[in-house]
Amino acid sequence: MASTITYTGGLKGAPNKATAVSAKVTDALGRPLGGYLVTFVIGSQTVTATTNGSGIAATQVVLNQKPGFYPLTASWAGDPGKYLGASTSAQFSLNKK
């Protein structure tokens, strides 16, 4: 079955400050998928979180990169035989207007 991941965290942050990242994982029928690992990548940094019963994976990352615009990706690998993996991307602004 297909799945969808939607990034629900912020898209702005400051160097060396905790930044909240989160995403929601649902199946093709819109049902939340709990207990799955989601990987967040911002520039060269990676952090992971596990989805809760509402399908939401949330954590914080302290970004130690230089100010600028970085690609942000949230993805999950899926569950072989049950769900296809999915990913989404956005642009993250690290201390830039």
Q: What is the pLDDT of residues 62-93, one digit of tens each?
A: 999 999 999 999 999 999 999 999 999 999 99
CA-to-CA dists, residue 14 to 23, 32, 77, angstroms: 20, 31, 29
Average pLDDT score, the chain: 96
- pLDDT over 90 (residue 55): yes
Residue 97: the pLDDT is 61
Q: What is the pLDDT of residues 34-49, one digit of tens each?
A: 999 999 999 999 999 9
- pLDDT over 90 (residue 96): no
Q: What is the pTM assigned to this prediction?
A: 0.95
Q: Which residues contact 18 (CB under 8 A, 6 or more apart)?
A: 60, 61, 62
Are 75 and 39 contacting, i.e. CB atoms less than 8 angstroms apart? yes
CA 55 to chain CA centroid, Å, is 12
Residue 10: the pLDDT is 93
Q: What is the pLDDT of residues 14-41, one digit of tens each?
A: 999 999 999 999 999 999 999 999 999 9
